[in-house]
Amino acid sequence: MNKKAAVAGAGISGLYACYLLEKKGYAVDLFEQSDKIGGRMCSERKSGFIIDRGFHVLQTGYPTANRIFSYDSLGCKAFEPGALVIRPDPVKPKVWRFSDPFRRPLKGISSVLNLFTSPFNLIRVGLLRLKVSRISDAGVFQGSGQSTLEFLRSRGFTEPFIKRFFLPLFSGIFLESDLRTDSRMFTFVFKNMSRGDMVLPEDGISAYPKQLYSMLDNTKLKLNTSVSQKSPNEIVVDDITYSYDIVIRAHSNADDNTTRGVWTLYFSAPKSPLKENYIMLNSSISLADNLISHLAVPSDIQPSYAPTGKSLIAVTVVEDAAKKRGLTHSDEVESAVLQELKNWFPEEIRTWQTLDVQHINSALPDHNASHYDNLGNSSNGISCGDFTFHGSVEGALISALMAVEKSIEIAARR
Ligand SMILES: Cc1cc2nc3c(=O)[nH]c(=O)nc-3n(C[C@H](O)[C@H](O)[C@H](O)COP(=O)(O)OP(=O)(O)OC[C@H]3O[C@@H](n4cnc5c(N)ncnc54)[C@H](O)[C@@H]3O)c2cc1C
């Protein structure tokens, strides 16, 4: 007879846990409290646009994700490696291209010549790249960390370069505005950015969990079903207790950790404001009156994101940056962002229309240094999710792998 497992939560970690449990011969019941799978990797269609819940990409450098997803069959397309960097100005905004010299040597040379920063910072980027490429995936989180800001300073980057390049890029990735995130997480992201692409699937970010779900053969999904755990192998659904050989909780509880939030604003425009397929960073993000970390045009990468003749623009504002300005309501954030965008695209902005203002309250776990010190040593074999490992799709997938291995080990001892 099949062994039975229950997984609570159909985000990417829960779905991967189901897949791994099936491979070990378990029949799985997957419970999801909402009406769809995918958790935070969620997309909706609105007026012909694909609107992801928050600007969200996948790094093809992630090793675990790479083993699972077929990027080709999802029609994934990549952003250019590097970034455009803007200095906003109401009359004449200035834009620099900062291309990855290792993958785009010719454009990389023009980055050196465009006077965005001194060649010494660019050489340091190259040296950092070399250093992280030599660290193994397992080694990234070993040892002790410091804040990302301290780390970048210790690598010799100048303050202006940190503020104008690393801060807008990594505040939009870590969803905090001080680069306080542990440097081991910085190394993880930087390593994956250096060796892979930032890609978007044709049908929106929810295509990843859907692809994973399509790989399940022996899993019964129950939507709109909230589960609580009674014991290591018992769950409660609608006041009824059910027993399983294994139970895995693939969602966080309120007391697991604090979280980081983000505002994502989507606009419809008659044409893309960007001339190349990069994301655009705000070099003035450290100034007190600036909110936007970065802007991207998903429809430049994937035309399916917008109807014919339109472009979809995604603007990222870290929640704590908005809070520092006392902005907590959608209309306040929208009006401050539109005001700021006048200094980015003084002409084009008049033709833009707001499609959506999203406030994603618990977008990422807010892990501190001691969390990273103990990464992978958790004795808790029954929960997975990015909150148990690190805040990324890769972190969520690895956490599922660890939880399944541990649960099987515990079940064998029972
Ligand atoms: C705006 C945004 C941008 C991001 N960008 C990136 C990026 O570019 N690259 C990257 O790698 N990562 C990114 N991430 C992070 C990535 O999306 C998450 O790390 C990952 O999706 C977490 O998956 P999870 O399975 O751990 O949790 P979740 O996706 O949160 O899934 C948990 C699921 O459990 C369900 N659930 C909760 N309680 C119960 C219950 N009691 N019973 C049953 N079900 C329950 C929830 O409804 C949910 O579906 C981003 C996240 C956000 C929000």
**Domain shared by 148 and 224, yes or no:** no
Which ligand 1 atom sits closest to the C-alpha of 393? 11
Give 108's pLDDT tier (boundaries 50, 70, 90): low
Ligand 1 pocket mutation, candidates 52, 53, 56, 188, criterion most atoms within 8 A of CB: 56
pLDDT band at 54 (very low <50, low <70, confident <90, very high): very high
Q: Is residue 218 a contact partner of residue 26, using CB atoms and an 8 Å limit?
A: yes
3-state secondary structure 117-164: CCHHHHHHHHHHHHHHHCCCCHHHHCCCCCEHHHHHHHCCCCHHHHHH
- Mean local confidence (pLDDT), 376-404: 87
Domain co-membership, 299 together with 225: no
**Among residues of the chain, what percentage have pLDDT more than 90?**
82
Residues 163 and 287 in one domain: yes
Q: Do 250 and 399 share a domain, yes or no? A: yes
Characterize the bridge pairing of strands 240-243 and 58-59: unpaired
Q: What pLDDT, in 10s, does the model give residues 217-253?
A: 999 999 999 999 999 899 999 999 999 999 999 999 8
SS3 384: coil
Of 344, 365, 386, which closes a domain?
365
Same domain, residue pair 17 and 162 = no
Can you tell me the mean pLDDT for 138-157?
A: 92
Residue 276 has pLDDT above 80, yes or no: yes
Q: Mean pLDDT, to the nearest integer, of 154-159?
A: 95
Q: Summarize the confidence of residues 65-90 as an average pLDDT.
A: 96
Query: Nearest residue CA, atom 49 of ligand 1?
Result: 39
Q: Which H helix or E strand runs over 364?
A: strand 353-365
Q: Count of domains in the chain?
A: 2
Model confidence at 317, pLDDT cuts 50, 70, 90, reads: very high
Q: Do residues 138 and 57 share a domain? A: yes
The answer to whether residues 237 and 284 belong to one domain is: no
- 191 and 339 together in one domain: yes
Residue 379 predicted with pLDDT over 60? no
Please tell me the predicted confidence (pLDDT) of residue 115. Answer: 63
Q: Which domain holds residue 307?
A: 51-200+258-365
Report CA(366)–ligand 1 centroid distance (Å): 14
Q: Which residue of 393, 394, 397 sits with most ligand 1 atoms within 8 Å of its CB, as the best mutation to test the pocket?
A: 393
In this structure, the answer to whether residues 264 and 242 fall within a common structural domain is: no
In a domain, 370, yes or no: no
Instruction: Looking at the structure, tell me whether residues 158 and 211 fall in a common domain.
Output: no
First-to-last CA distance in the chain?
Answer: 18
Note whether residue 149 is domain-resident: yes
**Cα 394 to averaged position of ligand 1 atoms, centre (Å):** 11
Match 């929960």 to its residue by tokens.
383
29 lines ligand 1 (CB under 6 A): no
User: In the structure, what pLDDT confidence band is assigned to residue 98 with cuts at 50, 70 and 90?
Assistant: confident
Q: What percent of the chain has pLDDT over 70?
A: 94
One domain for residues 339 and 397: no
pLDDT over threshold 60, residue 314: yes
The number of the ligand 1 atom at minimal distance from the alpha carbon of 387 is 26
How high is the pLDDT of residue 267?
A: 98
Check residue 143 and give its pLDDT.
82
Q: Which residues pair with 296 in a beta bridge?
A: 314
pLDDT band at 119 (very low <50, low <70, confident <90, very high): confident
Nearest CA, atom 52, ligand 1: 363
At 340-366, the pLDDT tens digits run 999 999 999 999 999 999 999 999 999
Q: Rounded mean pLDDT of 18-24?
A: 98
Query: Which pLDDT score, from 0 to 100, does residue 113 have?
Result: 59
> What span, in angstroms and rounded, lies between the C-alpha atoms of 414 and 412?
6
- Residue 199, ligand 1, Cβ within 6 A: no
Mean of all residue pLDDT scores within the chain? 93
The CATH number of residue 27's host domain is: 3.50.50.60
Rounded mean pLDDT of 171-176? 96
Distance in Å, CA 94 to ligand 1 centroid: 36
The stretch 72-76 carries a mean pLDDT of 97
pLDDT value for 138? 86
386: CA distance to ligand 1 center in Å? Answer: 7
User: Does the beta carbon of 298 sit less than 6 angstroms from any atom of ligand 1?
Assistant: no
User: Does 11 share its domain with 77?
Assistant: no
